[in-house]
Amino acid sequence: MSSSVFSPTQPVLSTPLLIALVTLKGYQEFQKGEKLYIEDLAEYLVKLKADGIDISRIALSRSLDKYWSEDVAQFVSEGLVFGFLTHKSPLGFDKRCVVVCKKAIDSHIKNNQALRPIVERAERILELEPIETLAA
């Protein structure tokens, strides 16, 4: 018996949860010295989609070889206002970004434990280091 990746009974990750995951990936790459842009965070969403994670709640647009997400752009704007992002282009991440993203992920999982295996799968797809490592 096989089950479909897009089973109607499988919970769907919310927009804030997906953005928190790709932002943590961005933070991780920033810590390694990478220059990142909103388009890079959108590309991480495409990677999740390609590996079977439902990202249908986030609108993505494509121009030539880049993806764009207004949802990610909005989050970046809010991050600049609240100080957990320090620059827009390229993105600059403050350590508080990890705290904000961790809270978003934890609160969504707390409210729906069925999300945990999907979040863990997304973390593996994105090759995310453990939060404790990112926050160090």
Prior bond to 90 cis, omega within 30?
A: yes
Instruction: Spell out the residues 6+ positions from residue 115 whose beta carbon is closer than 8 angstroms to its own.
Output: 11, 13, 17, 108, 109
pLDDT confidence bin for 2, thresholds 50/70/90: very low
What residue segments make up the domains of the chain, in order of their start?
15-127
Residue-wise pLDDT tens digits, 24-60: 999 999 999 999 999 999 999 999 999 999 999 998 9
